[in-house]
Amino acid sequence: MGVAKSLRHGMTDTPIYSTWEGMIQRTTNPRFKFWSYYGGRGITVCEEWRDFRNFYQDMGDKPSPVHSLNRIDNDGNYEPGNVAWATRRQQSANQRPRRRQRGAKGVSFSPRLLKKPWRASIYVDKRSHHLGWYATEVEAQSVYQYCRDRVDILKGVDHR
């Protein structure tokens, strides 16, 4: 059984329906922006919750506009017993460890970006400045070092 097409519940314009729809999209639609973090990792929605009415019956309305769905076990599926309403702060305490690999200072590596996975960035006046994406770590380090050597020039630029 796929996602229920019957919309006789009259809730398609509600925040809870948008939340349910987002859950379905991120687990079933490979073109969805964040699919790789959900469906792409094997996270699914239980068959029962593919029908909005069953999901709504189990979860009810959002406690407040700032609440969203939180999977208690981040490697588990969207299913009763593994989902609760949570604020952004509560969710930040329940995240998977980041697998981002770092290069030299000012350089980081993102394995998802195949053509140019190396990012160079620099902090100037307590602000991060993106310097670009590069094919090799050496290129990214060179750009970072070039900018680092000229930090005083960057600070002195007049943007009027």
pLDDT band at 123 (very low <50, low <70, confident <90, very high): confident
Render pLDDT for 82-115 as a digit per residue (tens, 0 to 9): 999 988 877 776 665 544 455 567 887 776 667 7
CA distance 123 to 20: 39
Can you give the pTM of this predicted structure?
Answer: 0.56
The alpha carbon torsion through 10, 14, 18, 19 (nearest 10 deg) reads -110
% the chain with pLDDT above 70: 80
The answer to whether residues 74 and 61 touch, using CB atoms and an 8 Å cutoff, is no
* Phi-psi map region of 93: left, alpha, beta (phi>0 left; psi -120 to 50 alpha): alpha
Higher pLDDT, 58 or 113: 58
